Structure 1
Amino acid sequence: MVPRPLAERLALTPTRSQGVVIAGGQREVWPIAEVHLTLDGQATTTPCFIAPAGPPLLGAVALESLFLAVDPVAKRLIPVDGFVG
């Protein structure tokens, strides 16, 4: 998820919109753009919500696409194997 001002600076082009439920149960419709991202030499393309405001967030789909998981104890990202099944 990226806030709209950042999406505009990055020239992201929304390709569709999707309903979302935000904190407090409020429903909204946010645009989605395909984003190319690279982290530690690993690249992927992932759908990305464009939010009205707030901090950028790296979500589960992007992390899974990069074969990364969160280590909450060490507060870092760790590589993981792909899972098929």
Structure 2
Amino acid sequence: MAKDDFFYISYKILAYLYHAMKKGEKIDPGVFDPQNYRVSYPYLNDILEELKENGYIKGVSFIETKDGKLITGLSDIKITIKTRIAS
């Protein structure tokens, strides 16, 4: 993946969530496997956390552990109205 891949990965995630919502499909948590984006688990978590903190996604939670952050709720993840308006 390119050095400046943050926005590319963010777009891919948001586009997937938007299309799933529009079609009424359930979210596949496997889509959020870091290998799909050729990045590390902590980096993908950072991207998802940034999207949540900035109001683009909801439904996920981040839990601090001694080994880093654990993400929960991927099957409940959704885009927000903020994202849909910005599209």
TM score, norm. by length of structure 1? 0.24
Give the number of the structure with larger relative contact order, counting CA–CA contacts within 8 Å between residues 6 or more apart.
Answer: 2
TM score, norm. by length of structure 2? 0.24
